[in-house]
Amino acid sequence: MRRIYLNILGLAAMACSLTACSSEDDSNNGGSGSGGIGSTATEQYVVMSGSGENNGAYLQLTADPTGGTLDPTNPNGRIYFSGNNPDFVNYRNEMLIGMNYPSQGGSSSDYITMAWKLVDGKLTQFGNGVALDGDVKARGIFKNYLIGMSDQTGNGHYERVKFINLDTFEAAVVDGIIDCDDLTKEPASLMEGETWGVGDIAEYGDYVLLSYATKRMQIDPENPKATYTDLANNLYIGVYKFDPNDSEKEYLKYQNTIVRKSADHPGKEAGQIKGNQRSRTETGIEVVGDEIYLFCQSTIKNYGQTVPQVPSAVLRISGSNIQNGKPVAIDNDYYVNLTDITGHYMWKCFYMGDNKFCLQMYTEAGTAGVTEGSHKKFGIFDVKTKTYTEVKGMPEPSKINDIALACAVNTDEHTITFEVELTDGSLPALYKIAADGTATRGTEIDTEAIQGVSFLKQH
């Protein structure tokens, strides 16, 4: 039976500082149980559980995610992360970042973003807590920086650019701005009367790649925010240089836009790479070696449509379409209709190594993207062979209550681990998916709220 958290806020106040705390009763950051929990191994899985008051998360370690039980109510060794909406980012399996920011008002000093590394097998805070001063809709890693962006409307329409130097994790720069209003300048001048935001951020060599999620320029009087455009089947990828020391605060310097309109490719349509309602976006532009794969979700919003106009699809940028290290065009000889081969629309994708991606897909293809519905189906897609394998061993979608956003990718093992809560009242558990398409239930977590799992290596 799951434990009921009692007086969590009181415990947190006694044990923690304003931003985070670590109990020293158990130097291994672990909970009770077996299966490697409490190990000081140099490779460990970090399990994040809700605190019980929807105001933070407990972080615990286990070296073996295949067995045992974690008890987040056990204070020995756990770390408490204070945050109203805990949101976790993994930096190259070297650092776990707990992002925390006010999304709807509030003082930024009350929302502190933290980072942790493995030191002597223990989860240890790295650097200072930093204030991001507002939300982050899209985020990505470039070199040794975490770059975040948010779409801003009101006094004009612009993208707000923020970043953190991950070598020091001492402060966040939050004052970068990219103007989206001028339709006479690129990228907007290359669009069809659309204004744009950012769906995904990725690194390719010396360039930052942004996927543009376009919106109607005309504002609906009954809906003060711009809505997703009717032209969501046009794909735009922006190419930028990053200068964190620019005196004009133009940290991302525009280079060029890659355009692919579905009307020019009948029978091989592809939608945009976008964000979604529930997660901050970090998927879609995927670099494998010297090639770039574009996983287009093809989600839609509004306009009374019941299905997307175009399928989820995979495109590629490679060879002569990369000139002097800069991407300039999309290949004409690579196209995969994911909806056709999987029977679903894609929600997110995760690179597992060895040219393979784990796809998390909408369960009901007929409503994919119309509303933020269930996405409880998984499959393995090989970008080289264009082959797809449905994952076996996961619970049926109807038996899954929730799948936590944060997941653990081990590219050495070619595995990915998710935290899953079922509808039958059993304990939430970690499910490890291998590249051959097999999933195995592992460590159980005696918690009321799942926040996810990550994977760290000690360096």
pTM: 0.89
Cis peptide bond prior to 187, omega within 30° of 0: yes
Q: How far apart are CA 332 and CA 328, in angstroms?
A: 13
Nearest of 222, 231, 159, 166 to residue 193 by alpha carbon: 231
Decide: 128 and 115 in contact? Cβ < 8 Å: no
Q: How far apart are CA 198 and CA 25, in angstroms?
A: 44
Per-residue pLDDT, 118: 96
Per-residue pLDDT, 35: 39
User: Which 3 state secondary structure label does DSSP give 254?
Assistant: strand
The backbone torsions φ and ψ at residue 114, rounded to the nearest 5 degrees and listed phi first, read: -120, 165
pLDDT tens for 99-148 read 988 765 555 667 899 999 999 999 999 999 999 988 888 999 999 999 99
Q: Across residues 214-241, what is the average pLDDT?
A: 71
Q: How far apart are CA 27 and CA 138, in angstroms?
A: 35
Q: What percent of the chain has pLDDT over 90?
A: 62
Q: How far apart are CA 188 and CA 115, in angstroms?
A: 36
Per-residue pLDDT, 9: 37
Instruction: Looking at mean pLDDT, say which of 167-176, 211-220, 222-231, 359-368 comes out highest.
Output: 167-176
Measured on CA atoms in the order 265, 266, 270, 271, is the torsion positive or negative? positive
Give the start-end residues of each E strand in 270-318: 285-288, 291-296, 313-317
Per-residue pLDDT, 363: 84
> Per mean pLDDT, which range of 12-16, 151-155, 242-246, 324-328 is the poorest?
12-16
Q: Is residue 449's pLDDT more than 80? A: yes
Q: How many CB atoms lie within 10 A of CB 72?
A: 27
85 CB-side CA count, 13 A: 11
Burial 132-159 (b: 16+ CB within 10 A, else e): bbbbbbbbbbbeebbbbbbbbbeeebbb
Q: Across residues 147-167, what is the average pLDDT?
A: 89
pLDDT tens for 360-398 read 998 865 444 445 568 899 999 999 999 999 999 999 999
Q: How far apart are CA 147 and CA 141, in angstroms?
A: 6
Q: What's the one-letter identity of residue 134? A: G
Q: Is residue 4's pLDDT more than 50? A: no
Per-residue pLDDT, 95: 98
